[in-house]
């Protein structure tokens, strides 16, 4: 388009060639013909049309150049988020089956009480599986927790792969161990990233602490890892009355991290855990600036459209008027008109 405009400008502004006698032919009465008002008006009209056509072509070319240049607006937004990380850690061993769905719903209620915190989730039995890493996408969190509730609510059938397959990642293939509490807690502690940054780190640990097998890391060792990483562990044990010894061991381990111990998965416990976590008044963390680049091609598009509409508005009446004049002259001379049959 730019080349076409440049060629048109060059042709319009280029000086006319000097005509010599060898290249011209004299026409008798040409001066009288050119002096006729209609002829002069036609010449003026033609020049005006040519000038308007050139200008509109330039307008279209300019608009095309603007669109091709892709003008854009850059917006820089400085973002801050709550300087807290929360990991949801769930024991899904056989002894926890009756409360697993209730626990996930409690986790969902906790997330609704957060604002800006990053949240992660891990499930464990003999092995640990990360459900999702630390994220502050709350729509994603809600969807994944809902999926987990449905997943844990399916009754296991050892002959049905559709119900058994999701659990295979946390099972021991040799069937020699399950509910390895220390290993599960240690893997949840590892989900906290950027240990060099000063952040509030909390871990919500739901388990009955009923160990079955030989863990690689004991509960006390996992609690020591949490203390070193400055992670406060808040444990919820739904079976404290059935397993009092295990409950007291779990309570001592989590209290050593500066966290808390709760005896049931209920609304009161959820509210207390959320209150304890949000009470950690760490300074807001400034995230890297968010740069948003927005294209604005509309100005160039408007110029192109305006040029094309103007060109059509100028040329269409001229063509219509020319056809009417030819038709009228043909009728005056008794020739066939331009009324659908054409000229013969």
The most confident of the ranges 37-41, 60-64, 130-134 is 130-134
**Alpha-carbon 60 to chain mean position:** 34
Q: How does pLDDT run across 276-331, given as a tens digit for each residue?
A: 888 875 556 666 777 777 776 766 677 777 777 776 666 666 555 556 555 666 66
Which residue, 218, 238, 221, is CA-closest to 98?
238
**Alpha-carbon 195 to chain mean position:** 28
Higher pLDDT, 69 or 168: 69
> Distances from the Cα of 207 to the Cαs of 121, 141, 297, in angstroms?
14, 21, 58
Count of H helices and E strands in the chain? 11, 10
What residues contact residue 186 under an 8 Å CB cut-off, 6+ apart? 217, 221, 222, 225
Token pair for residue 249?
A: 């061991």
Q: Of all helices (H) and strands (E), which one includes residue 33?
A: helix 30-34
Q: How does pLDDT run across 12-27, given as a tens digit for each residue?
A: 555 555 555 555 566 6
Higher pLDDT, 92 or 166: 92
For residue 189, what pLDDT is reported?
Answer: 96
Rounded mean pLDDT of 158-178?
50
Mean pLDDT taken over the chain: 75
SS3 at position 313: helix
Pairing of strands 200-206, 285-286: unpaired
Q: How many Å apart are CA 132 and CA 143, to the nearest integer?
A: 11
Which residue, 298, 293, 294, 292, is CA-closest to 67?
298
Q: Of all helices (H) and strands (E), which one includes residue 106?
A: helix 97-112
Which residue, 254, 272, 269, 284, is CA-closest to 188?
254
Enumerate domains of the chain plus CATH numbers: 1-9+35-75+295-318 (no CATH), 80-288 (3.40.50.410)
Which residue, 230, 235, 184, 180, is CA-closest to 210?
180
Q: How does pLDDT run across 186-204, given as a tens digit for each residue?
A: 999 999 998 888 888 999 9
Residue 298, number of CB atoms within 10 A of its CB? 11
- The percentage of residues in the chain with a pLDDT greater than 90, rounded to a whole number, is 20
Q: How many Å apart are CA 206 and CA 111, to the nearest integer?
A: 15
Residue 148, number of CB atoms within 10 A of its CB? 25
Max CA pair span of the chain:
126
For residue 256, what pLDDT is reported?
Answer: 95
Token pair for residue 258?
A: 């500066």
For residue 221, what pLDDT is reported?
Answer: 95
Token pair for residue 186?
A: 């240690």
Rounded mean pLDDT of 205-216?
88
The phi, psi pair for 91, rounded to 5°, reads -85, 120
Do residues 166 and 149 lie in contact, with contact meaning Cβ atoms separated by under 8 Å? no
Q: How does pLDDT run across 228-245, given as a tens digit for each residue?
A: 999 999 999 988 888 899
């Amino acid at each position: 388009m730019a080349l076409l405009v440049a060629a048109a400008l060059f042709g319009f502004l280029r000086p006319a060639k000097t005509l010599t006698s060898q290249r011209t032919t004299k026409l008798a009465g040409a001066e009288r013909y050119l002096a006729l008002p209609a002829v002069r008006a036609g010449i003026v009209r033609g020049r005006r049309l040519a000038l308007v056509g050139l200008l509109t072509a330039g307008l279209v070319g300019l608009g095309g150049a603007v669109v091709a240049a892709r003008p854009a607006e850059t917006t820089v937004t400085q973002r801050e988020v709550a300087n807290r990380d929360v990991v949801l850690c769930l024991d899904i061993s056989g002894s926890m089956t009756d409360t697993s769905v209730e626990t996930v719903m409690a986790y969902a209620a906790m997330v609704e009480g957060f604002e800006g915190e990053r949240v992660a989730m891990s499930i464990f039995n003999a092995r640990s599986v990360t459900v999702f890493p630390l994220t502050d996408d709350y729509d994603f969190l809600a969807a994944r927790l809902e999926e987990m509730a449905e997943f844990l609510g399916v009754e296991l059938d050892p002959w049905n792969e559709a119900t058994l397959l999701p659990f295979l990642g946390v099972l021991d293939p040799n069937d020699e161990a399950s509910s390895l509490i220390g290993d599960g807690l240690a893997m949840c502690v590892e989900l906290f990233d950027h240990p060099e940054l000063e952040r509030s780190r909390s871990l919500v640990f739901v388990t009955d602490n009923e160990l079955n097998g030989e863990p690689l890391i004991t509960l006390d060792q996992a609690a020591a890892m949490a203390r070193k990483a400055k992670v406060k562990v808040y444990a919820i044990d739904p079976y404290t009355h059935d397993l009092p010894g295990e409950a007291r061991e779990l309570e001592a381990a989590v209290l050593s991290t500066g966290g808390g111990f709760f005896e049931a998965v209920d609304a009161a416990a959820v509210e207390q855990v959320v209150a304890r976590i949000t009470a950690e008044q760490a300074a807001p963390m400034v995230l890297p600036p968010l740069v948003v680049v927005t294209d604005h091609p509309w100005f160039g598009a408007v110029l192109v459209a305006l040029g094309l509409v103007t060109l059509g508005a100028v040329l269409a009446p001229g063509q219509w008027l020319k056809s009417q004049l030819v038709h009228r002259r043909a009728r005056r001379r008794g020739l066939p008109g331009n009324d659908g049959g054409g000229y013969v």
